[in-house]
Structure 1
Amino acid sequence: MAAEAGGGEPLVRFVKLSGRAAGSKKKVRWFPVRRLFTHSCPSLRIPSRFLREGRRSPPARSGHRCVADNTNLYVFGGYNPDYDESGGPENEDFPLFRELWRYHFATGMWHQMGTDGHMPRELASMSLVLHGYNLLVFGGTGIPFGENNGNEIYVCNVKYKRWSKLSCRGKKPNRIYGQAMAIIHGFLYVFGGTTGYIYSTDLHRLDLSTREWIQLKPNNPACDLPEERYRHEIAHDGQRIYVLGGGTSWTAYPLDKVFQQPEDAIAVFK
């Protein structure tokens, strides 16, 4: 991560924390999901009316992204090299899917959403988050893979079904795919990814109120930084961001390290 932080942003520090005392024999105990819910919610089973007569479901795909709220699951983009499975002559973006689907939990029905505006064309291995009524899409790759990459933010308001391209300033991330991102306290964080040739541990942050990008620079020696990666995952607890797994074209990283990024530091749990 050689790029500099902007706007006087304090340096980010990677530190290594101990998960538990050496030699600890504490074991993890698993419970059936059913046991964790009240009688009003006996399981997480998807309704048997998953697909009603006369309704289509999304074709098979990979490289897509999903997010959900309390009511709907949204599925965007994806890739399928099978001409017939991907829609045949009706799919002008073959082998990609330039489309947005919605699955309604209560009715168990899929619906392909008709939208207006500027839908992105980088439709595989992008990042997707849901912020209120807005889907935010960043990066990704199109055809040819690894050469037609993106570094713009696209927003789809699912209430009004309209796409727009977000105009931002500051130091944007490179044109990448396979990165992960999360929103916390009004900031959009983007970590890792690849250009198709170079893998990254860059951590960028977008202020959603000012629309300004900065790159957060770690104050660590090179030997104390996490390995470059893509296709990892991010989760957060409202205060910290956790980066799990990922890898490169020649390796996959184990889950004995979980990278934690609080507001002013990054820590490694081992």
Structure 2
Amino acid sequence: MAEFPDRPITIIVPAGAGGGGDTTTRLLAKEIENELGEAITIINQGQGGGVVGLTSIRNAEADGYTLGLLFPYAGYHYTGQGDFTVSDFTPVANFNGDSSALLTGANSRFRTAEEVVEALKETPEEYTIHCSGACGSVWDIPIAGMLLDLGVDVAKIRWIPGKGAASGLSELASGGVDFQAASLPEAAAMTEAGQVRPLTVLSTQPVPGFEDVPLAETLTGKPVDGGTWRALGGPAGIPEGRVKILQEAVLAAASSSAFREAMDKSGFGVQPLEAVALYEVMLQHEEDTARVMEALGY
């Protein structure tokens, strides 16, 4: 029998071209091609906020030749857009992770995250937080979870959906919203320009390039790790032997100097995880999302 793989592989990206998911996947795919010696075709399916792409991944033939970008998906269930669980997919390996941060405008009266938490405890209904996209997703859910743990009635905060971090940051800088949940790299240009100010980041260690941003641990008293993860996976049922080959290729690609340099240049974090660890990340994501979405009233 021919060795796997013996023909090109397709990777479905449940996002439009040019975004973070598309960019990071294309950078990874270039290195995977070198590892496997087979061409990789990227197909963008961002319709329905990614639901179409995730559905295509779930319904693909489980032969290892059709893979896809997996990312925090559990929120779709609570917004009525889809019902994906870890059992629908075969985790292969994680390659990217970026922490969520809470930001405010440069002209805001709030100078620290501690001040924000106290204000939100007293009158949460008076404040708005931009979600950097659809609410109930990768940036706002971790922030809401942290605030919930700190005693804030998160359901009373006005969570504002948008078309992405860029438009939200413009609104934040102009004073249209009080706060925003986003990644620090996304806000880098406006932070450097003095238009927005990061207050805290949900990371267990300082984010490279943003070492002055306080960690959420200063608020909670314990390490906090929240944000997005990006991984390769496929439909449920890919044979174990093929998963192992794919996992080794992804991890080798994610560890390559070319990939790490390209990701660093683009402002994305590298976080390689084997399939077993990725499975646990997905389970924890589903549990955390359920808790926060219930608190938010979805």
Range class of TM-score, shorter chain: under 0.3
Greater fraction of residues in strand: 1
With a CA cutoff of 8 Å and minimum separation of 6, indicate the structure with the bigger relative contact order.
2
- In our comparison, the structure showing a higher alpha carbon Rg is 1
Greater fraction of residues in helix: 2
TM-score under structure 2 normalisation? 0.24
TM-score under structure 1 normalisation? 0.26
